Amino acid sequence: EKNLPLLFLVEDNAYGISMPTRETNPLALNVLEPDNWRRIEGQNVQQVYDATAAAFEKIRADGGPFFFWINMERLSSHTSSDDQKLYRNEQELRELEKFDPLKCWKDQLIEEGLITAEDFARLDSEIRERIRREYTEAEKAEDPSPNELLANVTKPSPKIEKEILPPGKYRIGDTVNKTLRLGLEEDRGRILFGEDIEDPKGGVFRLTQKLSTAFPKQVFNSPLAESTILGVACGLAAYGKRPVFELQFIDFIYPGFNQLVTNISTLRWRSSGNWKCPAVIYAPYGAYLPGGSLWHSQANESALAHYPGLNIVIPSTPADAAGLLWTAMHCEDPVIFLIPKHLLWAEHEYAEPIPAVPLGRARQCRSGSDVTVVAWGNTIEKSLEAIAKINNETTIELIDLRSIVPWDKAAIEESVRKTRRLVVVQEDTENCSVGQMIISHVTSTPELWDEMISPPILVSKANVVIGYNPIYEYAALPDVERIVAAIRHSVSTRHERPVVAGIGDSRRPAKQREYVQPGSTIPATTEIGKRRMQSITVPVMGEGIRNAKVVSLLKKTGDPVALDDELCEVETDKAVYPIQSSFAGVMGEWKTKVGDTVDIGQELGTLFTDEASLADQFETAEVSAKRKPVEAAESAAEPGDADRGRHARRYSIEPALSPTVTRKLSRVISANLQIDARWDAIREARELAKKKDLENAPSPSVMMAWAVVRAMEKHGPFRRLILENDQIVQNDDFDLGIAVALEGDRLATAVITNANRKSWPEFVKTYDETVAATRGGRVDAMNAPVVITSLGAFGVKAGAPIVVPPSVGTLVGS
């Protein structure tokens, strides 16, 4: 494409250790275009020299690149531990000497009279003697010191006293672009290289927009090949350039992993500091933006941090993005710069100039004395939301780690000494993670561990990748509720020394949480008389977009609205988006006007509909055309076409019961019994307990649960479980399930394991602890034959319970 001055040489020695490859290499299989490659016999030194000289001459005249395929016989075994006599026949081994380039060259020189046999023998002897001396000197040389081991892994971060950007309003996307521009202006040896980064695209997130126009000799599109991007970065950096290379998403780094972890990260160390690789690799990172899924949403800083020689930073604010990127561009070692794409377009205002930020220094976001919370990247936003929700309930010190390698041990140690509690929040998976590293460091430092009054807690994504469906994405990621629960749990726990706790223990199934569209707190539906008022809100538009500008309102109050009608249009940095109606009905009022800037999830207006739900509309659309269409909410509205919804876009509403539960219900035959039970004995026992134990008296619910366990012991059928294969088993030892109401009308089941084996004091203690843990977010494995639930507080006199296998029954109290 660019006639690069390159000569590619492939040395083909015909074997991959013991396996012949002459008929299976890329050239033999026509994977490579044969016409582009010149075949050369490697034992012919003159032929190699002549071909190379001719190629060099053409390459220097802009005629490159050239490709040589050189056949070379392997003259000895692969290694000292390999014996090629096992897989090469005698005749082949005897003839190897004919293909020795040194012998062939010697014979040619003697035949042409350029040297004599005696000349060669004398030269051969001198070289052998020199090699012997070098071996002897090496044996006598002083051994290296163990203290030198870490000397050339990386050099310290440069100390830069510079104001990069003036005061003002910025987004991370803005500061990255402006800082890259400043870097290109400062150093002509600074090169940008990545997929689609040239104008007019300017990168998939517009981070490099207008830079290739301003710096055409420094900003280039790359092939769609991460191994090439990283390999070129290593080569340029090693020879004095300053590459700042983009990967479209950090998920795509793995095709280039060999270049990253065996070349880039190790260059300084394996050359004892004689070579270095001052390269910056930056990429969008992380989730919290539905739809990115497996290859656009992962957080993998822990995998990258595992390899010595790499610096890793993750900004969460525009100022940190500018400050860390500027420092990274002046480091003498490779830096991985990860940009949380969910935060790309969140605007911050700064009254002071934005300075450079040194690597390895954390930032204190909030000061507090009750608990230390450490987070970075997207989880800083979630932690701030959690702190706001807790309000003045407790004082929290929030630390933005921001530099993963190196990391600020001193800042975290100082904070934990003060608060004596630690909660770490990370977006990456739990296994072998940065969060676990921090907790391990704190708990293995005796003076810190002795001071702690609560075990550290890690709030982390489960050991699972980000899925396609937004429900899967938000179920996997740390959210405000889990962070709040972790903080409250930490503050309420004292003088314990268990192993490190975790919200969402990996031994238990991940808790299923209701998916709520971020930023939307407006009820979707409000009943007014017989009509329903539906809210029109700004949908999630992906790629970190936080707000948009209203450019047109396409419906007026009283206008009829059909499914998928365009209601209005909003404009973002990326494009103009129409907002379509999910309902049929009549336009209500607009709560915005053209020119307004609106946030994701903000209510734009209202729409009136007679339909009970969106699902009902689709059901109506699917019935026979003979059925009458739904009448409009007002006489001004035209009746819709009966087939209107047949090909309409379907909007998914999460069912109250998950598909897993619904599937299991099909295996149970519903049978309900209603019995009036006397309350006298429970009431009397409760009164006696209150006199004896005062406020510590066990509740009537505990007493009922105890009585149920005793009944289950007596009646075997209530100790049975329905297995996945529909087999029914009866156990002597059994669990008991307790239904627990959570926020948002959600239910969870607290499970008392081996309930029948517990004494009364153990049972009371376990009951209280299990229910509290479930309210705090813990999810227990469900193997209880019977689940107890109480609906009396809601005025329910009787109910038909849902029984979900493996349980065989639900006891409903009223």
pLDDT at residue 657, rounded to an integer: 57
Question: Exposed (0-12), middle (13-18) or buried (19+): which is 289, by Cβ within 10 Å?
Answer: buried
- Whether residue 334 contacts residue 281, with contact meaning beta carbons closer than 8 Å, is answered with yes
Residue with tokens 């802009």: 62
The stretches of 573-632 forming alpha helices (DSSP H) are 614-622
Number of CB atoms found within 10 A of residue 508's CB: 15
Residues involved in catalysis:
296
Q: What are phi and psi of 348, to 5 degrees?
A: -125, 150
Strand segments, DSSP code E, in 162-215 are 163-165, 168-170, 190-194
Q: How far is CA 9 from CA 23, 232, 345, 636, in A?
A: 19, 17, 47, 78
Structure tokens at 533: 């008022």
Closest Cα to residue 607, out of 543, 676, 659, 536? Answer: 536
pLDDT at residue 699, rounded to an integer: 86
The Cα–Cα gap between 520 and 515 comes to: 11
Return the amino acid letter for 498: P
- Whether residue 360 contacts residue 403, with contact meaning beta carbons closer than 8 Å, is answered with yes
Closest Cα to residue 183, out of 337, 314, 310, 406? Answer: 337
Q: What are phi and psi of 773, to 5 degrees?
A: -65, -35
Rounded to two decimals, the pTM is 0.65
Whether residue 406 is preceded by a cis peptide bond, meaning omega within 30 degrees of 0, is: yes
Structure tokens at 108: 């040619």
The Cα–Cα gap between 339 and 282 comes to: 7
- Whether residue 785 contacts residue 723, with contact meaning beta carbons closer than 8 Å, is answered with no
**DSSP secondary structure code for residue 36 in this structure:** G
Q: What are phi and psi of 70, to 5 degrees?
A: -105, 120
Residue with tokens 């959210």: 479
pLDDT at residue 518, rounded to an integer: 40
pLDDT at residue 376, rounded to an integer: 99
Distance of CA 280 to the CA centre of its chain: 20
pLDDT at residue 648, rounded to an integer: 39
Which residues, in sequence order, are CB contacts of 28 under 8 Å at separation 6+? 22
The secondary element (H helix, E strand) that includes residue 188 is none
Which residues, in sequence order, are CB contacts of 784 under 8 Å at separation 6+? 734, 735, 736, 737, 749, 751, 752, 807
Q: How far is CA 348 from CA 351, 388, 598, 787, in A?
A: 10, 18, 16, 50
3-state SS, residue 23: coil
Q: CA angle 361-367-368, nearest 5°?
A: 125
**DSSP secondary structure code for residue 208 in this structure:** T
Per-10-residue mean pLDDT for the chain, 814 residues long? 88 94 93 94 96 96 93 92 92 93 96 96 95 92 91 93 96 98 98 97 96 98 96 97 98 96 96 96 94 88 97 98 98 98 95 98 97 98 97 94 98 98 98 97 95 96 91 94 97 63 44 40 51 86 77 92 89 78 90 92 88 44 40 39 40 51 65 78 84 83 91 92 81 91 76 93 92 81 84 70 81 76
Structure tokens at 192: 């940008």
Report, in angstroms and rounded to the nearest whole number, the Rg of the chain calculated over CA atoms: 35
The Cα–Cα gap between 785 and 767 comes to: 17
- Whether residue 490 contacts residue 423, with contact meaning beta carbons closer than 8 Å, is answered with yes
The Cα–Cα gap between 37 and 27 comes to: 9
Q: How far is CA 634 from CA 442, 567, 631, 642, in A?
A: 66, 18, 8, 18
The Cα–Cα gap between 269 and 276 comes to: 9
pLDDT at residue 514, rounded to an integer: 41
DSSP assignment of 68-110 equals EEEE----S-SSTT--GGGTS-HHHHHGGGGG-HHHHHHHHHH
Longest dimension (CA), the chain: 122
The Cα–Cα gap between 750 and 30 comes to: 64
Question: Exposed (0-12), middle (13-18) or buried (19+): which is 655, by Cβ within 10 Å?
Answer: exposed
3-state SS, residue 10: strand
The Cα–Cα gap between 254 and 457 comes to: 30
- Whether residue 371 contacts residue 420, with contact meaning beta carbons closer than 8 Å, is answered with no
SS3 track for 318-368 = HHHHHHHHHHHHCCCCCEEEEEEHHHCCCCEEECCCEECCCCCCCEEEECC
Question: Exposed (0-12), middle (13-18) or buried (19+): which is 140, by Cβ within 10 Å?
Answer: exposed
pLDDT at residue 812, rounded to an integer: 78
Question: Exposed (0-12), middle (13-18) or buried (19+): which is 577, by Cβ within 10 Å?
Answer: middle
All domains of the chain in start order, with CATH: 7-102 (no CATH), 163-355 (3.40.50.970), 363-503 (3.40.50.920), 525-622 (2.40.50.100), 659-813 (3.30.559.10)
Closest Cα to residue 800, out of 699, 701, 668? Answer: 668
Question: Exposed (0-12), middle (13-18) or buried (19+): which is 66, by Cβ within 10 Å?
Answer: buried
Buried b (16+ CB within 10 A) or exposed e, 350-363: beeebbbbbbbbbb
Residue with tokens 């294969």: 725
3-state SS, residue 586: strand
